[in-house]
Amino acid sequence: MQLGPVEYLILGFPGNKFSGEIVPELAKLIDSGTVRILDATFVTKDQDGNVGVVEYDVVEELAAFAGLEGEIGGILSDEDIAYAAESLEPNSSAALLIWEDTWAAPFAEAVRKADGVILEGARIPRELIESAMEALEAALA
């Protein structure tokens, strides 16, 4: 079985302002075969700093997640939830997502067949890329 790179993402929602607007875009990624959801959960921190896990089928704003196609469950641990909760301010929430980058599965398989290994990899924050691109444009002008 080909397996693409697997990523985790913690999306924060200050003030618990989750509108569900990300769900249609996430559904497009799933439907196009770009990603495959492996696990997802929602964490909240109340005003007093108490942490809880929220079931997406219980909260109206999260109900749209129930319709997403995926193999949700079993990968995220209590330690993962605690890690995500550490960065949450009181009265905020987070969505924890684990997905496979299915678009990269053929490349990942080719790397494995070539006995290649990933030595390092990271996402570059948008702000750093924008700044670098602006500096490049200014230098070329």
Cα 114 to chain centroid, rounded: 29
Decide if 94 is inside a domain. Answer: yes
**Per-residue pLDDT tens digits for 120-141:** 888 888 899 999 999 999 999 8
Is residue 136 included in any domain, yes or no?
no
Residue 129 domain flag: no
Number of domains in the chain: 1
pLDDT in tens, 7-24: 999 999 888 777 778 888
- The answer to the question of residue 114 being in a domain is no
Beta bridge partners of 92: 14, 45
**Residues whose CB is less than 8 angstroms from the CB of residue 109 and which lie 6 or more positions away in sequence, other chains included:** 2, 3
Judge whether 15 lies within some domain: yes
Vertex 38 angle, CA 53 and 104, to 5°: 140
Task: Assess if residue 122 is contained within a domain.
Answer: no
Tens of pLDDT, residues 98-125: 999 999 999 999 999 999 998 988 888 8
Q: Which domain holds residue 35?
A: 6-103
State the pLDDT at residue 72: 65
Q: Helix H segments across 1-125?
A: 22-31, 78-86, 105-113
Structure tokens belonging to residue 124: 């570059």
Share of the chain above pLDDT 70, in %: 87
In a domain, 138, yes or no: no
Question: What does the pLDDT read at residue 18?
Answer: 76
How many whole angstroms separate alpha carbon 124 and alpha carbon 119? 16
Tell me what pLDDT residue 136 has: 92
Confidence at residue 70, expressed as pLDDT on a 0 to 100 scale: 65
Global pTM reads 0.78
Q: Is 133 within a domain?
A: no
For residues 117 and 58, the model is more confident at 117
Mean pLDDT, rounded, for 85-103: 91
